[in-house]
Chain A
Amino acid sequence: MILFYSKQSGEIVGTIDGRIHPEDQLKMWVGNKEETDRIVVQWKPTGKETITVIEEPIFEEYVDKEGFTETRQVGTKKRKERFVDFEPDHLQRYVFMELDKIPSKVYEYKVDTKTKLLVKKK
């Protein structure tokens, strides 16, 4: 997520959603650069992996009574899949993990213009 806020009031004025922002997204800007600043939150690998067992059906082809080729399930096979865990590269990563799920909740916050951290609005 890239979060844009008023330099003066800390009010959030816009966002660009996403976890990994390429160079051409970093050239984008919401509002006027003299009036707004931004916080860029990129997601990074945590170094941990999650291994999930996935069960997949096995199909085989056969020819029916009328001579048409059909497929049918004859069993299942299990395979392991590795997922690399990512998290926001930011001090307030748990806040940004929540905002990743419901981005519109970002407007419940404003930015402390001194610390550049999100604070919940009263």
Chain B
Amino acid sequence: MSQKIVVSKPSFNALTETDPRNLIFSSDYGTLKNFAKINQIVSFDANNDITGRGTYTHNLGYYPYVEIFTRIYIGSPSGNYEYCPFFGSGATVEYNANYSITTTQIVLFGEINGVSSSVWNFDFLIFLFKNNLNL
């Protein structure tokens, strides 16, 4: 018999319960291993560029599980973080944020269209987990 840790919800028996909906925790199922919270700002001047690129080197040697959020602003930090990839638009403009993952880096991208002034800031919030995606 293998050893495991099971915590059941109130009124359920941890020793016999097999339905995961009735458990608070079971070591039979994988969990996310929170590793680091990273904030990175990618900035570029719309007078010269329409894209910006930033790199975050994690050096884990495998594809990690990540959750990334972004907020886009001009001037002082403002606005809400949105789930990334993100796409926003106005009457004649559009802006989007995206990312790609390698075994050593997370590459962050920001892009704007229809805008030709101001410094644009793409503020990325990266939640990095130790879990290997085995891709």
A residues contacting B by CB (< 8 A) are 4, 12-18, 24-25, 27-32, 103-104, 106-107
Contact = CB atoms under 8 A, between A and B. Distances in A.
A30 B37 contact: no
B57 A14 contact: no
Interface of B: 35-41, 54-60, 77
A84 to B, nearest CB: 23
A12 B37 CA distance: 16
Contacts of B58: 28
A13 B59 contact: no
A22 B37 CA distance: 13
Main secondary structure of the interface of A (DSSP, over half): mixed
A27 B36 CA distance: 12
A16 to B, nearest CB: 5
A16 B37 contact: yes
Given A14-B56, A16-B38, A28-B38, 16 more contacts: A12-B41, A13-B40, A14-B54, A15-B38, A15-B39, A16-B37, A17-B36, A25-B35, A28-B36, A29-B57, A29-B59, A30-B54, A31-B56, A103-B39, A104-B77, A107-B41
Nearest to A107: B77
Contacts of B39: 14-15, 17, 103-104, 106
